[in-house]
């Protein structure tokens, strides 16, 4: 059974990596064109005003994960009737949540945009267009969550890969149109992005109803089921909102103190972070259904073993990509954006990559919490700590610290959050923190020490494009070798060798 699960995880991961590679290649080009077309100031405005849309992955993924947990349990027990009711209830929940968000967005949010944000007066109308398009994208994304959940619960990663490719192709076309558009470029960009979001949602709806004909929306009110799903997904959403408010809250604080140019630098940094975390996110997404099914089957020892392995692999996969970037970030930015690199982008990028490394441990752990369904205490404590980043950032900027100081605050607080997660998990499932340190953290720390020294000597000096490319490739090669011999155990090295032989 474990072998079948591993093969399924590998197959699903391959689909998602195929999607990721194409998305990254196109995104590198489109980001450069969009920045050049908008200019640094308008790019910063889009990042801060419409920035919560780019953070929607937290909210949408969190809600979808909550629904997926219920779908996985019922599909495993072959209770299709319950799945049908759950699907309708999940859409009903999203309707209520969307109405609440729309009310807040068109009152408090609209007032804050026009009364408190640091936006040039000649761009305030364009900023309002961006805001309204962003609200529409938020609502559409919320409605997509039940469809995401049913697709992932059924492990239809091939569709997930293809639709991601379609989305990035549409964004590529937008970048091309922006160069030629005769109207306000910022407004045009926001409207076109909203159309893409609507189009992708329609594709999700058609696929789900075509592939799973038994699923259709019936406006029913099943109070018991709704209470059960809201109780779980509600706490899941709280954790997601904490991340959303942290990200957009820091963005707004930076805007208030420094204006849209610094928002542009942070936007570039988080595009890089999003790009590299796709590597580990795809792996974790493919493993998630198997972790939940292991818990549902009562295989706790298998779940813990998978938890340790996924946590360690997640960090090491991310470290393979991030280490060369840490040493060559200026080169990467200049190659990517040319002369249009916003000030502070390199420093923001380095710190955001370190934050990504810290957060790579979070998903496998929270998957176990989702599987248990006991989320209340976990989410209240962790979300409260995460939200402290916003007031702490405001305080240090009020004390005249530099813009990048907010990133140091985020990094420090997120390390504390992970410690809290490990402690709280002990109350939900029998595992050893000491064993976690030995099986996960210690191998990762050994890899960091060895590879940092080696990467420093490899990248000590470079003077041209060819030399920089060679140094990046050498860093990647030697890091891979060290990860293989230091980060993996004997059985894992054997499995990797067997997989390579099959591919060759």
Whole-number Å distance between alpha carbons of 489 and 497: 12
Q: Indicate yes or no: pTM above 0.75.
A: no
pLDDT digits 0-9 by tens, 205-218:
888 888 887 777 77
- Binned at pLDDT 50, 70 and 90, residue 21 comes out as low
Which has the higher per-residue pLDDT, 38 or 349? Answer: 349
Whole-number Å distance between alpha carbons of 347 and 25: 23
Secondary structure of residue 464 in the 3-state scheme: coil
- Binned at pLDDT 50, 70 and 90, residue 101 comes out as confident
Kindly state the tokens that stand for 173.
Answer: 């076309």
Whole-number Å distance between alpha carbons of 343 and 339: 11
DSSP label of 256: H
Q: How many CB atoms lie within 10 A of CB 200?
A: 18
Kindly state the tokens that stand for 6.
Answer: 């591993």
pLDDT digits 0-9 by tens, 235-290:
777 777 787 778 778 888 888 888 777 888 888 888 788 778 877 877 787 777 77
Any idea which residue has 């379609």 for tokens? 166
Whole-number Å distance between alpha carbons of 503 and 70: 36
pLDDT at 8 (0 to 100): 54
pLDDT at 421 (0 to 100): 92
Secondary structure of residue 50 in the 3-state scheme: coil
- Beta-carbon contacts of residue 87 (< 8 Å; ≥ 6 apart): 71, 146, 150, 215, 217
- Contact between 421 and 365 (Cβ < 8 Å): yes
- Binned at pLDDT 50, 70 and 90, residue 1 comes out as very low
What is the DSSP secondary-structure string of 55-121?
THHHHHHHHHHHHHHHHHHHHHTT-HHHHHHHHHHHHHHHHHHHHHHHHHIIIIIHHHHHHTS---G
pLDDT digits 0-9 by tens, 463-473:
677 888 888 88
- Contact between 137 and 171 (Cβ < 8 Å): no
Helix axes 2-49, 260-296, angle to 10 degrees: 160
Kindly state the tokens that stand for 162.
Answer: 């293809």
pLDDT digits 0-9 by tens, 281-332:
777 877 777 787 778 778 888 889 889 989 998 899 889 889 988 888 888 8
- Contact between 190 and 133 (Cβ < 8 Å): yes
């Amino acid at each position: 059974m474990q072998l079948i699960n591993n093969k399924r995880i590998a197959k699903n991961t391959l689909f998602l990596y195929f999607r990721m590679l194409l998305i990254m290649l196109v995104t590198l080009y489109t980001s450069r064109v969009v920045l050049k077309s908008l200019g640094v100031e308008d790019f910063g405005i889009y990042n801060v005003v419409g920035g919560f849309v780019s953070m929607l992955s937290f909210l949408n993924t969190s809600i979808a994960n909550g629904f997926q947990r219920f779908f996985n349990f019922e599909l495993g027990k072959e209770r299709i009737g319950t799945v049908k009711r759950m699907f309708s209830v999940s859409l009903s929940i999203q309707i209520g949540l969307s109405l609440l968000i729309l009310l807040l967005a068109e009152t408090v949010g609209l007032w804050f945009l026009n009364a408190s944000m640091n936006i040039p007066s000649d761009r305030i109308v364009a900023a309002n267009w961006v805001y309204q398009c962003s609200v529409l994208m938020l609502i559409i994304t919320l409605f997509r969550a039940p469809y995401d959940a049913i697709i992932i619960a059924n492990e239809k990663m091939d569709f997930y890969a293809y639709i991601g490719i379609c989305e990035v192709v549409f964004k590529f076309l937008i970048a091309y149109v922006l160069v030629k558009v005769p109207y306000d470029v910022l407004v045009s960009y926001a409207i076109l992005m909203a159309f893409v979001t609507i189009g992708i949602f329609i594709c999700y709806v058609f696929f789900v109803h075509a592939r799973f004909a038994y699923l259709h929306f019936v406006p029913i009110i099943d109070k018991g089921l709704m209470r059960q799903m809201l109780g779980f997904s509600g706490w899941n959403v709280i954790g997601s909102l904490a991340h959303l408010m942290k990200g957009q809250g820091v963005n707004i604080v930076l805007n208030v103190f420094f204006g849209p140019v610094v928002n542009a630098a942070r936007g570039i940094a988080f595009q890089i972070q999003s790009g590299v975390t796709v590597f580990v996110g795809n792996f974790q997404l493919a493993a998630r259904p198997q972790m939940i099914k292991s818990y549902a089957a009562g295989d706790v020892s298998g779940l813990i073993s998978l938890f340790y392995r996924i946590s360690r692999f997640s960090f090491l996969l991310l470290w393979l990509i991030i280490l060369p970037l840490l040493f060559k970030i200026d080169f990467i930015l200049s190659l990517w954006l040319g002369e249009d690199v916003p000030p502070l982008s390199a420093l923001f990028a380095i710190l955001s990559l370190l934050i990504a490394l810290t957060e790579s441990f979070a998903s496998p752990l929270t998957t176990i919490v989702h599987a248990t369904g006991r989320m209340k205490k976990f989410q209240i404590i962790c979300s409260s700590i995460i939200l402290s980043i916003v007031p702490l950032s405001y305080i240090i900027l009020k004390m005249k610290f530099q813009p990048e100081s907010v990133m140091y605050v985020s990094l420090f607080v997120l390390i504390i959050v992970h410690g809290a997660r490990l402690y709280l998990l002990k109350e939900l499932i029998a595992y050893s923190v000491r064993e976690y340190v030995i099986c996960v953290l210690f191998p990762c720390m050994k890899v960091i020490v060895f590879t940092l020294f080696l990467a420093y000597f490899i990248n000590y000096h470079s003077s041209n494009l060819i030399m920089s490319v060679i140094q990046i490739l050498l860093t990647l090669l030697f890091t891979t070798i060290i990860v293989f011999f230091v980060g993996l155990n004997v059985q894992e090295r054997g499995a990797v060798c067997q997989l390579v032989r099959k591919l060759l």
